[in-house]
């Protein structure tokens, strides 16, 4: 651990990962609900949310260059404040004639700042703590990222629903995005005081040309792995169903019943998805991890893939039965999120234990994660057009069908890691 970083991690790890989570959920959850309330067409919502999520899929491309900055702390603070500016611009955009174009531009700024902040914050965490401390505070990382999920997908959506009925839709979402912007400013100011002043080491970073050469070598090495193209296809298709369901599902919940939706209010979505659903997701992730450890990845993979498709099953039920009892709807959504969390473990372990094994392990995991993110962006982008063509009920059946290719591929891709070649680790930041 750096000698310059003597402050207790409990002082800064929670605030660092809360600041990592808030803009992520602002773009991927809150912005979607705002656009629904603003009556933007489904296909426009999904298309542009897919584009916005690209930032997290390609952040590994510029992550090595961030090592050229003199201080990890300064980069973290800058991008927290840039994210705050983007959120404030989104709030302002809601009152302008061309609100949609300006809002998407502002949210693009938020997504790029958030993706870059992810890289910097993880790098700061690794550089500032020794291995023992990293393990001790790993739980705090996940906990406060999920606090951001609770706050955003739960508390803020519930508040937005209440404000929509009292002050109107544009004003309600203006308040929400200004609150998020203020929270990011406060976190930025606090972290300017609390974060350790870990500096990058020029000898390790090299010049931009050196970083570019190393990055290119890492990409070439990744693409030379045996069976890598089949592995890439598997990673992309693993989330084909869930990526579409997670995008259209919240829209279906809000859509009027005469349009085939459940007609829930914004605050009801916050209660069912953001609160109960988050608890179910966390529980599913924990149980899925133990399940995979118990059976081993090779034996567990088919079950994990099937679990990833519980969301499709839940939404097929909801779109067919069209229940009006909120408890029934919330229970189905909790089952969906449990399956999502349980099954998602499969692709993470596949990236860790199979795809990234070998030279440049950390960098190859980052590339694999980026491929997964690009697949998610693709399926989010096309989901709206497919739903408009099929309708909600047939769309969710389509989601079930999207599980078949990855189940077939699971029989052909290697699910056991190969021995790691002896080699120096890559000097490429993890995404």
Please measure the distance between the N-terminal and C-terminal CA atoms of the chain and give it in whole angstroms.
21
Can you tell me the distance from the alpha carbon of 54 to that of 47, in angstroms, rounded to the nearest whole number?
11
- Report the distance separating Cα 158 and Cα 175, nearest Å: 13
Tokens of 422: 């002896």
337 burial via Cβ count (<10 Å: 0-12, 13-18, 19+): buried
Q: Quick one: CA torsion of 246, 45, 30, 330, rounded to 10 degrees?
A: -40
Q: Are 338 and 317 contained in the same domain? A: yes
3-state secondary structure of 263: coil
State whether 318 and 411 are in the same domain: yes
Q: Residues 64, 213: one domain?
A: no
CB 341 within 8 A of CB 281: yes
Q: Please check whether residue 3 lies inside any domain of the structure.
A: no
* DSSP helix/strand/coil, 71: strand
Question: Does residue 132 lie within any of the structural domains?
Answer: yes
Q: Do 245 and 358 fall into the same domain? A: yes
Q: Are 265 and 332 in contact (CB under 8 A)?
A: no
Report the SS3 class of residue 199.
strand
| Domain extent at residue 326 | 206-417+427-431
CB of 175 closer than 8 Å to CB of 50:
no
Quick check: is 370 in a domain?
yes
78 and 146 assigned to the same domain: yes
Do 191 and 232 sit in the same domain of this protein? no
Q: End of a domain among 197, 221, 240?
A: 197
CATH at 107 = 1.20.1250.20
Q: Are both 133 and 234 inside the same structural domain? A: no
Domain boundary among 197, 220, 240: 197
Indicate if 104 and 15 belong to the same structural domain. Answer: yes
What does each C-alpha distance from 393 to 114, 131, 388 come to in angstroms? 34, 49, 11
Neighbouring residues of 288: CB distance < 8 A, sequence distance ≥ 6: 304, 307, 341, 342, 343, 344, 345, 346
Distance CA 62, CA 81 (A): 19
Residues 126 and 216 reside in one and the same domain: no
Residue 118 in domain: yes
β-partners of residue 147 are: none
| pLDDT tens sequence for the chain (431 residues) | 443 446 788 999 999 999 999 999 999 999 999 999 999 999 999 999 999 999 999 988 888 888 778 888 999 999 999 999 999 999 999 999 999 999 999 999 999 999 999 888 888 888 888 878 877 787 788 889 889 999 999 999 999 999 999 999 999 999 999 999 999 999 999 999 999 876 655 544 457 788 888 888 888 888 988 889 999 999 999 989 989 999 999 999 999 999 999 999 999 999 998 889 889 988 998 898 889 889 888 899 999 999 988 778 899 999 999 999 999 999 999 999 999 989 988 888 898 888 888 777 778 888 888 899 999 999 999 999 999 999 999 999 999 999 999 999 998 888 875 544 433 333 333 33
1 occurs within a structural domain: no
Joined tokens for residue 136: 């001790």
Evaluate whether residue 2 is within a structural domain.
Answer: no
- Residue bearing tokens 């974060």: 195
Same domain, 45 and 135: yes
In terms of domains, do 35 and 54 share one? yes
Question: Looking at 197, 227, 254, which one is the last position of a domain?
Answer: 197
Query: Angle of helix 169-194 relative to helix 13-25, nearest 10 degrees?
Result: 150
How many structural domains is the chain composed of?
A: 2
For residue 287, being part of any structural domain is answered with: yes
CA pseudo-torsion sign 73, 74, 75, 78? positive
Euclidean distance between CA atoms 200 and 255, whole angstroms: 49
- In this prediction, residue 273 carries a pLDDT of 86
Residue 258 lies in a domain: yes
What is the Rg, in whole angstroms, of the alpha carbon atoms belonging to the chain?
Answer: 21
Q: Model's pTM, two decimal places?
A: 0.87
Contact 252, 319 (CB under 8 A): yes
Residues 176 and 276 in one domain: no
């Amino acid at each position: 651990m750096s000698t310059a970083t003597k402050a207790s991690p409990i002082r800064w790890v929670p605030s660092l990962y809360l600041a990592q989570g808030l803009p992520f959920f602002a773009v991927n959850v809150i912005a979607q609900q705002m656009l629904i309330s603003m009556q933007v067409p489904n296909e426009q919502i999904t298309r542009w949310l897919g584009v916005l999520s690209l930032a997290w899929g390609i952040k590994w491309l510029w992550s090595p260059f961030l090592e050229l900055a003199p201080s990890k702390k300064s980069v973290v603070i800058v991008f927290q404040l840039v994210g705050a500016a983007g959120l404030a611009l989104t709030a302002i955009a809601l009152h302008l004639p061309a609100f949609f174009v300006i809002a998407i531009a502002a949210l693009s700024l938020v997504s790029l700042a958030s993706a870059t902040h992810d890289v910097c914050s993880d790098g700061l965490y690794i550089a500032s703590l020794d291995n023992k401390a990293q393990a001790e505070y790993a739980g705090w990382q996940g906990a406060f990222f999920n606090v951001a999920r609770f706050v955003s997908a739960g508390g803020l959506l519930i508040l937005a629903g209440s404000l929509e009925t009292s002050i109107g839709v544009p004003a309600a979402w203006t308040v929400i995005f200004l609150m998020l912007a203020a929270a990011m400013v406060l976190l930025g100011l606090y972290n300017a005081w609390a974060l350790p002043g870990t500096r990058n080491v020029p000898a390790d970073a090299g010049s931009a040309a050196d970083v570019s050469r190393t990055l290119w070598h890492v990409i070439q090495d990744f693409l030379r792995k045996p069976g890598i193209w089949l592995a890439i296809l598997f990673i992309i298709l693993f989330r084909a169903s869930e990526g579409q369901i997670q995008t259209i599902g919240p829209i279906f919940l809000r859509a009027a019943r005469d349009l085939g939706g459940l007609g829930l209010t914004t605050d009801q979505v916050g209660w069912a998805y953001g609160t109960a659903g988050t608890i179910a997701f966390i529980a599913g992730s924990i149980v899925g991890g133990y399940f995979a450890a118990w059976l081993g990845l090779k034996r567990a993979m088919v079950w994990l893939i099937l679990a990833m498709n519980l969301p499709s099953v839940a939404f097929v039920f909801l779109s067919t039965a069209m229940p009006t009892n909120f408890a029934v709807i919330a229970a189905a959504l909790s089952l969906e999120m449990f399956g999502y969390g349980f099954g998602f473990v499969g692709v993470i372990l596949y990236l860790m234990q199979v795809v990234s094994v070998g030279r440049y392990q950390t960098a190859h995991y980052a590339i694999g994660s980026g491929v997964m993110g690009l697949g998610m962006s693709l399926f989010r982008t096309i989901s709206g057009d497919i739903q408009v063509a099929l309708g909600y009920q047939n769309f969710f059946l389509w989601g079930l069908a999207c599980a078949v290719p990855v189940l077939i591929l699971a029989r052909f891709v290697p699910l056991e890691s190969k021995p790691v070649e002896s080699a120096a680790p890559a000097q490429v930041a993890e995404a």
